[in-house]
A and B are shown apart, each in its own frame.
Chain A
Amino acid sequence: MEDQIRNILKEHGRLASDAATLADNADLYQAGMTSHSSVNVMLALEAEFDVEFPDRMLKRAVFGSVASIRAAIEELTAA
């Protein structure tokens, strides 16, 4: 799952640093992700993991780090 998330960040996140080596808790917005690129990341994650983020998850913090994205995906795929 981790690799899939990092690949999506590499493709859609417009990060200034390498998505493969970013720390788990590194702030993706600090790393260069804009609001619009976070939307593209969100849509790519939904396609990759076949999930739909509920409204309560459509917020900045959920997509703020690799760790928080992983926690959200785990929650959605656990059911």
Chain B
Amino acid sequence: MTVAMTYDSKALYDELVANKLIIPTSVKGVFGRGAVFEDVLFHLNSKISRIAENDGAEVMLFPPTLDRKVFEKSGYLKSFPHLAGVVFSFCGSEAQHQDLVCCLAEGKPWAHTQTMTDVVLTPAACYPVYPSFTGTAPEQGRLVDMQNWVFRHEPSSEPTRMQAFRIREFVRVGTPQMVVEWRDMWLARGIQLLRDLGLPAESDVAADPFFGRGGRMLAANQKAASLKFEVLVPIISKENPTACCSFNYHEDHFGSSFDIRTADGAVAHTACLGFGLERICMGLFKHHGCDPLTWPNDIRDLLWG
């Protein structure tokens, strides 16, 4: 007899902790990853590499810190001021250092001793790449393969909503037709991969979590124009499945912000897509159990074969 799957956010979190897949900290949405979790994530990421291996993407890796000027130019603060993480540091004198140490010792606020630096925490894996595209793209456009830790300030005890997580990302630059065709190809690949991994994946048109009432309008516009799709898998809820892959068509947003042009001189269009590596791993643990040695053979072969 098949037992119906039940979904419970806290139960999943507790199970991941009990099986040493994740290591809790005192901050919501921030936890360590254990060896088995990392092994699954590594092989999942490698599987994505195999799917993409003949696409000819150029690999570019950036640290999880982004040039603040690029961040400001990207328009992120117009849309997501509540999710951003800006890096501050101590740049003061010895006397100000004394003030800092005293505040700490006395349990007083010490934010006034900190100064904004030239970097922010990377908010989305693709952001560091756009300045390198400035200029004219080749005839066939550009295709880049990236991965990064990204930061979102959204503390939550729900395991799939993390403050820091890894995204395997691909970015396409070209004409609108090139970019949309590429996005649609990967949307099909993403659904297929997750279904091959035994996950009940479905795609849907989606919207970003824009800030405020104006944000509701931006989200409605984004949905109406079908600019964002997600591949969703039920992990903590059947009714509200979790986005495991995201496909974003930026139209000419980054092209005009960073002066990127196609070979014919028009403003280039861009799209990016990301696989939420931790979320897919959690989906696998949820649907197949916390011990990968007991997973169905075809799924093990797909990842470790």
* Contact surface of A with B, Cβ cutoff 8 Å: 35-36, 38-40, 42-43, 53, 55, 58-60, 63
Contacts and interface: CB of A to CB of B under 8 A. Distances in A.
B32 interface: no
B56 interface: no
Contacts of A35: 217-218, 221-222
A60 B215 CA distance: 12
Contacts of A43: 213-214
B224 interface: yes
Contacts of A38: 217, 221
B220 interface: yes
Contacts of B78: 36
A40 B213 CA distance: 11
A36 B218 contact: yes
Interface string B197-225: 00000000000000001111110111010
Interface in B213-262: 213-218, 220-222, 224
Given A36-B75, A36-B78, A59 B214 contact: no
Given A39-B218, A43-B214, A60 B75 contact: no
Main secondary structure of the interface of A (DSSP, over half): helix
Given A36-B75, A40-B214, A63-B217, 20 more contacts: A35-B217, A35-B218, A35-B221, A36-B78, A36-B79, A39-B214, A39-B215, A39-B217, A39-B218, A42-B213, A43-B213, A55-B216, A58-B213, A58-B217, A58-B220, A59-B217, A59-B220, A60-B220, A60-B221, A60-B224
A38 B221 CA distance: 10
- Of the candidates B215, B220, B224, the one having the most CB atoms from chain A within 10 angstroms of its own CB is B220
Contacts of A39: 214-215, 217-218
Nearest to A52: B213
